[in-house]
Structure 1
Amino acid sequence: MTERKPLGVSFETWIDRQIREATERGEFDNLPGTGKPLPGEGKPHDEMWWIKQKMLEENLSFPLPGTLALRKEVEESVAEAMGARTEAQARAIVGGMNDRIRESHGKTLSGPPLFQPLIDVEKVVADWRARHPAEEKPAPAPEAPRERHSLLRFFQRKRHG
């Protein structure tokens, strides 16, 4: 057991002495992570870091409430539609998700209140088209050149007409 801080000694001095003595005894030798950077160094502080780390280590997860799960499913389906091979597949993915959203509007889902609007199919398809430019289309055949003589005659007739 650690001894109590003696009266008249500042905490900093007492703690420094405890660390120095433990180091001299070799109690900090061969600790896991020695010489490695601290995990999460340079990232913003997250108060729940230890819970997230424990869940990763234990391969744990928890189900999202119904409304949040629906929102996540909408985001995933839009991303899936963007990766579709054809426009028809993208439309089918978004259409199926819109069916699920319509279905959810008549139900009470767990979680915070949320009204999930339908996905704008045309916007998603326009984004899909922008990401998947069509193969080079053959250039349209050039128009036949107009005969200058016939146009010239036409205007001359009008003028003298």
Structure 2
Amino acid sequence: MDRITGSAEPMDEDARNRAARYRMDPDADRADESPDEDAPVPPQRRPEDQTLWVDQQIRAAMARGEFDDLPYAGKPLPHIDTAAEPDWWLKRFIEREQITGVLPEALQLRKDDAILDEQLDRLRSERAVREAVEEFNRRIVAARRQLQGGPPVVTQLRDIEVEVAAWRARRGRRAQASAPLPEPPPPGLIRRAWDRLRRRG
């Protein structure tokens, strides 16, 4: 049995060389060889040969240092909930490459939803808040129609009355926090009041 091809019939030296060359590189250029219908068909590469070749390539890349300084080297990979965030890969790519102004509407809505409260807090009237929330909801409805394609829209509509009430509450808390503290009474006044209380006792 031939040890290179596994064939029961021995091969001549030329065919053996071609078969050995094929096992090392099945995509080698054979344009200079004239087609020979009687030539034996080279054997297919065995799975274990391909596994060995891949392993050798990985080891060579490691030796060249191509895997050094990769993100998360020596750390666990972050958990990604692909069900809740189906387009996580696109979001990570945009963040990593710092791409701006080209987000699909579904992703832009998620980004705007996260900072909507902050944007509403800059507005000075309830009417402006209502108009801003209405416009945000219009964008969600338009994106859900998928007229322009893109990833699915998971951003929820905002209730206008709830958003106005929340805006009012945040505005009240800010007003209280920024109100000046009352002036402390002069020290002599406190002492006189304390003396009067002691005399009564």
TM-score, normalised via structure 2 length: 0.40
User: Structure with the greater relative contact order (CA < 8 A, sep ≥ 6): 1 or 2?
Assistant: 1
* Larger-gyration structure (1/2): 2
